[in-house]
Amino acid sequence: MKLTRAEGLAWREIDQETVIIHLSERKMYGLNESGGRMWSALSKPNTIEGLGLILAEDEAERSNVIEAVERFINDLAQEGLVTSDEPLAGRGPEAEVVDITLPKIEWREEIRQFAGQCNFQAGQSLQCNQQPGAS
């Protein structure tokens, strides 16, 4: 099974978090560090097993890591962030892996406004026609 990133996405790594914007759905997602490593590995088609090798440090961890990666990929697929050339199985069980931060979507947020709105809200940049330093 080959996994790839879906079309129409933008993303950035900020500190140890990867932020993905699904443009057509107007949603943003934040991936933890492990999730960001998985996302980076999807820059070219990959497999669940290939992604699992990124996290597993030894053979004993590998089966639990694969379950966690399956769960993560299913979460991404349900959000429309990845595609597969074969149907994905249902979400796997919660994996219990010690000393590994499992990949996951840390947060989701709907984008309510895009640029082009000319009203100021706290935390946003200046109004569309306002010059810097002008009141």
Please state which of the ranges 21-25, 76-80, 121-125 shows the lowest mean pLDDT.
Answer: 121-125
Domain that holds residue 9: 3-110
The confidence score (pLDDT) of residue 127 equals 46
Please state which of the ranges 16-25, 34-43, 86-95 shows the lowest mean pLDDT.
Answer: 86-95
Q: The pTM is what?
A: 0.69
Tell me how far apart the alpha carbons of residues 82 and 9 are, in angstroms, rounded to a whole number: 10
Q: How far apart are the first and last CA of the chain?
A: 57
- Is residue 122 domain-resident? no
Instruction: Output the CA torsion 121→28→31→73 (10° steps).
Output: 170
Instruction: Name the one residue in this structure whose structure tokens are 């406004």.
Output: 113
The residues, any chain, with a CB within 8 Å of residue 126's CB and separated by 6 or more, are 120, 132
- Is residue 135 domain-resident? no
Q: What is the domain count for the chain?
A: 1
The 10 Å Cβ neighbour count of residue 81 is 22
For residue range 59-118, what is the model confidence (pLDDT) as tens digits?
Answer: 666 777 888 888 899 999 999 999 888 776 654 545 444 445 678 888 888 887 655 545
